[in-house]
Amino acid sequence: MVSSLRGKANRAKWQKQLLDLERLLLDPDARHSDKNLEELLHPDFIEFGSSGKVYNRKMMIEMMTQEVSAAVVIRDFEVRTLSPETALVTYRSIGQSGQEARRSSIWVKDNGDWQVTFHQGTRIPNRWGGIS
């Protein structure tokens, strides 16, 4: 019983921390800071983009610091504990244009700090079946 309560408390704590970190990664100001991104993206980071292209940490930092970012809303945020130091985060993002995507990230705790080691985004077709 105690371990299940500890697990629930831990998950709730992780949920807040990881939601804040995902929001930070989507924040236009944070995305333009090499320092922020180097702290948030694990050295072994990879992303499977919605285009199917694979990006490494260096590529993502270069792209994110140069892009024109817009506000993104996070919905249906969930955290699943994979190990004592690893979590799977899933959510739906909605951009200013209304484009939605399903997103997943794997976060690892390294030296007491969370870093994202993997991310994937999959666009959600609009109600007519196309991608906006």
pLDDT at 2 over 50: no
| Predicted local distance difference test score (pLDDT) of residue 129 | 54
96 pLDDT band (50/70/90 cuts)?
A: confident
Q: Which fold has domain 2-124?
A: Nuclear Transport Factor 2; Chain: A, (3.10.450)
| Predicted local distance difference test score (pLDDT) of residue 88 | 97
Cβ atoms of 24 and 97 closer than 8 Å: no
Query: Tens digits of per-residue pLDDT, 55-73?
Result: 999 999 999 999 887 788 9
| Predicted local distance difference test score (pLDDT) of residue 92 | 96
| Predicted local distance difference test score (pLDDT) of residue 98 | 83
